[in-house]
Amino acid sequence: MSQDPQATEEYSKTAASPYKWEMVVDLDRCSGCEACVVACHAENNIRISGEEEAAEGRAINWIRIERYWEGDYPNVKAKFLPVMCQHCDDAPCEPVCPVYASYHTPEGLNAQVYNRCIGVRYCGNNCPYVARQFNWFDPHWDEPLAEQLNPDVSVRSGGVMEKCTFCVQRIRSGKEAAHKEGRRVRDGEITPACVQSCPTSALIFGDRNDPDSRVSHLKKSRRGFHLMESLGTHPAVTYLRRLSE
Amino acid sequence: MALLAGSMAMGVGALYSIGSADLPVQDQQPVRFSHRQHAGTLNIHCQFCHRYATQSPVAGVPSMALCQTCHESLSETTPDMKMLRIYWKEKRPIPWVRLQRLPDHVYFTHEMHLFAGLSCTSCHGNVSGMSSTPRAPTYEMGWCLTCHEQRGASHDCWTCHK
C-alpha cells in the first residue's frame, strides 16, 4: 500500500502524544430525557430486562439518569444526573481483578475484556459509582430485535461483567480513519452514542491531551467537579454544576 | 439397514464430539474453485475479486456477476465451469463454505493490516499455489501477537478485543 510520506511523518510526530479520552457532562443542560440511555442500549447490544429483573437489581444500564426531587410541593424541582463509568485514572475496579480482565488502556479508558472475565464480581463491588453491571443471565432479544445487534460490539453472555466503554468501537474507527489520513483525530470527530443522541448537547466528548479541544476548555470551568472527588479516583468524566442552584 | 443407520449416527456423533467445524472433509466447496488457476496461472490480483479488503474489515467474497465478467466469454471446459453457469442461469448464489471465522470477541480489519503494508500472503499463505483452499491452520491470539510484537504494533487488549 502506498502511503504519503509527508503525511506519515506528520502523524509520527503527533502520535508521540497519545490520546486521553474525557467526557464532560453539563448538568445545566441535562433535561433527563434518557435519550442517551436508549442510544447506549442500541449501540452496545445491552440485554433487555423486564420489570421483574429490574426490580431485583438485575437490569443492565451502562448509563443511567439519577433523579433527585428538590423543594416542597408545589415548588418541586426535578434534577438529573447522568452517571456512566467514570473511567477513573486510579480506578478501584482494576487492581482487584484476579485475571486482568479489568485494566487501564494507554488512552485512559477503563477497559473490560469480556472473554477474559470469569465473573468473580470483585470489580463491581469495588466500584463506588455502581457503573459495572453483571450479566446474571444470558442475553435474549425477541425477533426482530436480534437483527439490529451491532456487529462491532461483542454480545456478552451470562457470568460476565460489563460496563460503559466510551463506545470504544467508535473511538477505534475514528482513530483508524485519522491514521489512514496521517493525522490526529479531530475534536468532535468521535462521538459515543450517548453524546451523539443528547438533544441538548449536555454531553461532550474529546481528547484531554489536545489543549484546543472542547473538553479541555470545559473541564477548566469553575463549574467543574468530579463525582465523589474525595475518593481520589481521578475520573475522566467532569461534571459542570447547574447555573441555577 | 439398522446397522447402516447406527453407523451413520455414530459417525455424526463423532463429528460433533471432535468439533465438526474443524474437519477438513467439511470444507468441500460447492464449486471446486482453484486459487492456483486464478491467482497463480492467470495472475489475477487478490483484490480484483476480494475487492473490499483495502476499505473494510472484511475482504469480501466476489459476487457471481463479478465471476461472470470473465466467465461469460469463456467456454465451459470443466464440470465446475458448467456448475458455475448453472448457478448463474438459475440466479442462485453459490453456497460457499466459509473457512475463516474469528470469534465474536475479536475485532479484526483487513483494511488496517493492508494499510500497514502487510501482504495477503503474510497471513493467508501462498494461496496462488493452492488448487483447493484449506482452512487456515491457526488464527489464534499468540500468532497475532508475535507479528504485533515484531512490527511494534499495539499490544493494548482493546485494539483487537471488543
Question: Judging by beta carbons within 10 Å of its beta carbon (0-12, 13-18, 19+), is residue A25 exposed, middle or buried?
Answer: buried
A:B CB pairs within 8 Å: 50
Number of domains in chain A: 1
Contact residues, chain B, for A105 at CB < 8 Å: 156-158
Confidence check: pLDDT of A223 > 70: yes
Q: Which phi and psi (to 5°) does residue A65 adopt?
A: -105, 115
- Alpha-carbon dihedral angle through residues A195, A198, A201, A206, given to the nearest 10 degrees: 0
Distance in Å from the first CA to the final CA of chain A: 57
Q: Which carries the bigger pLDDT value, residue B162 or residue A119?
A: A119
The reply to whether residue B157 touches residue A179, judged by beta carbons under 8 angstroms, is no
Position B74 in a domain: no
The reply to whether residue A103 touches residue B157, judged by beta carbons under 8 angstroms, is yes
d(CA A145, CA A219): 38
Confidence check: pLDDT of A7 > 50: no
Residue of B nearest to A182 (CA): B115
Position A245 in a domain: no
The reply to whether residue B157 touches residue A168, judged by beta carbons under 8 angstroms, is no
| Average model confidence (pLDDT) across chain A | 91
Position A190 in a domain: yes
Cell reading at B37? 488457476
* CB-based contact, B102 to chain A, within 8 Å: no
- Expressed as residue numbers, the domain containing A43 is 20-240
Contact residues, chain A, for B104 at CB < 8 Å: 154-155
The pLDDT of residue B24 is 57
Confidence check: pLDDT of A245 > 80: no
- The model's pLDDT over A60-114, given as tens digits with 9 standing for 90+, comes to 999 999 999 999 999 999 999 999 999 999 999 999 999 999 999 999 999 999 9
Position A4 in a domain: no
The reply to whether residue B105 touches residue A103, judged by beta carbons under 8 angstroms, is no
Position A191 in a domain: yes
* CB-based contact, B90 to chain A, within 8 Å: no
The pLDDT of residue A133 is 94
ipTM of the prediction greater than 0.90, yes or no = no
Position A147 in a domain: yes
Position B105 in a domain: yes
The percentage of chain A sitting over the pLDDT mark of 70, rounded to a whole number, equals: 93
Position B12 in a domain: no
Q: Considering only CA atoms, which of A124, A4, A2 is closest in space to residue A60?
A: A124
Residue of B nearest to A8 (CA): B116
- Expressed as residue numbers, the domain containing B125 is 27-61+96-160
How far, in Å, are A62, A190, B3, B8 from residue B15 at the CA level? 41, 46, 18, 11
Position A13 in a domain: no
Position B113 in a domain: yes
Q: Closest to B105 (Cβ–Cβ): which among A103, A154, A176?
A: A154
d(CA A21, CA A189): 12
Position A6 in a domain: no
The pLDDT of residue B25 is 61
Distance of CA B109 to the CA centre of its chain: 15
The pLDDT of residue B19 is 41
The reply to whether residue A105 touches residue B112, judged by beta carbons under 8 angstroms, is no
| Helices B64-71/B79-89 angle, 10° precision | 120
- The model's pLDDT over B103-129, given as tens digits with 9 standing for 90+, comes to 889 999 999 999 999 999 999 989 999
d(CA B8, CA B158): 45
Number of domains in chain B: 1
Confidence check: pLDDT of A153 > 80: yes
- The model's pLDDT over B17-50, given as tens digits with 9 standing for 90+, comes to 444 445 556 678 899 999 999 999 999 999 999 9
* CB-based contact, B112 to chain A, within 8 Å: yes
The pLDDT of residue B22 is 53
Cell reading at B33? 474453485
d(CA A27, CA A31): 8
Confidence check: pLDDT of A17 > 70: no
Contact residues, chain B, for A172 at CB < 8 Å: 107, 158-159, 162
- Smallest CA–CA separation between A68 and chain B, in Å? 35
Q: Closest to B156 (Cβ–Cβ): which among A106, A115, A116?
A: A106
3-class secondary structure per residue, A72-134:
CCCCCEEEEEEEECCCCCCCCCCCCCCCCCEEECCCCCEEECCCCCCCCCHHHHHCCCCCCEE
The reply to whether residue A1 touches residue B158, judged by beta carbons under 8 angstroms, is no
- Smallest CA–CA separation between B82 and chain A, in Å? 36
Lowest pLDDT segment from A11-25, A68-82, B34-48, B57-71:
A11-25
Q: In the beta sheet, which residues pair with residue A111?
A: A103
- Using DSSP, state whether B51 is helix, strand or coil: coil
What's the pTM value of the predicted model, to 2 decimals? 0.84
Handedness of CA A124, A130, A133, A136 (dihedral sign): positive
CATH at A186: 3.30.70.20
Position B111 in a domain: yes
- Using DSSP, state whether A174 is helix, strand or coil: helix
Confidence check: pLDDT of A40 > 90: yes
- CB within 8 Å of A53: residues ≥ 6 apart: A59, A136, A137
- The model's pLDDT over A181-197, given as tens digits with 9 standing for 90+, comes to 999 999 999 999 999 99
Position A179 in a domain: yes
3-class secondary structure per residue, A140-172:
CCCCCHHHHCCCCCCCCCCCCEECCCCCHHHHH
Q: Is B19 left (phi over 0), alpha (psi -120 to 50) or beta?
A: left
